[in-house]
Amino acid sequence: MKHALALCISLMVAPAFATAQVELSFYGGVQTAPDSEISIQGDSVIADAEFTQDWEGRSFEAPPYYGIRVTQWKSPTFGFGLDLAHSKVYPPEGSLPAGFDVLEFTDGLNTLTINAYRRWNRAFGDVTPYVGGGIGVALPYVEVENSTSETYGYQLTGPAATWLAGASVPINDQWSVFGEYKGSFSSNKADLDTGGTLETEVFTNAVNLGVSFNF
């Protein structure tokens, strides 16, 4: 699935960015998530249930939280591009309802979004503030297990959105560093291996540090 995502991004990006000023960015940081409502319906093994689940981000545990972004700047102030974020949510120890051994999205509560950006070049000396946001899809690795049912795998689970604000500082003509706040929303309806569905809407919040290469 990860290789398929990379190929998809390459095919989408290459024609659009071939002759543009392009910025390739990599970022990581500290990501958290508030609790969310979970609904399980129609499963042949897991009983129908609705409950509130607390989440932890555990950003630096393997696999770590990270993101990759490619942006085409159409003008000095406006750009658009793709953002792939590998967020994560874990249940705190001992917080799962009775009957669940695993319920998490830890190999990625992944979102792929098409974003638009507005920046103010060197508005404060060398500092360039920017804001952005976009919509796309959620592609999480779904992990649900109890004594008689196991669901593990990547799924396309629904729409996603992201929003961000930050500032970048150049290192030289091609490289820059940046810091930002980044939030996301994903609406997830996942299929369970024993026939039912799990539905939940998850928000994440992150403080990112990253590096960009311009070409």
Which fold is adopted by the domain 2-12+20-35+51-185+205-214? Porin (2.40.160)
Tell me the domain boundaries of the chain: 2-12+20-35+51-185+205-214
- Please name the helix (run of DSSP H) or strand (run of DSSP E) that holds residue 9, with its range, or none: helix 2-17
- What single letter denotes the amino acid at residue 38? I
Tens-place pLDDT, residues 94-103: 999 998 999 9
CA distance linking residue 45 with residue 39, whole number of Å: 15
What is the mean pLDDT, run by run of 10 residues, along the chain of 215 residues? 52 52 97 97 90 97 96 96 98 93 95 98 95 98 92 97 98 96 98 95 98 95
Q: Write b or e for each residue in 17-28: b if 16 or more Cβ atoms lie within 10 A of its Cβ, otherwise e.
A: beeeebbbbebb
Tens-place pLDDT, residues 179-215: 999 999 999 999 999 999 999 999 999 999 999 999 9
Q: Report the largest interatomic distance among the alpha carbons of the chain, rounded to a whole angstrom.
A: 62
**Has this prediction a pTM greater than 0.85?**
yes
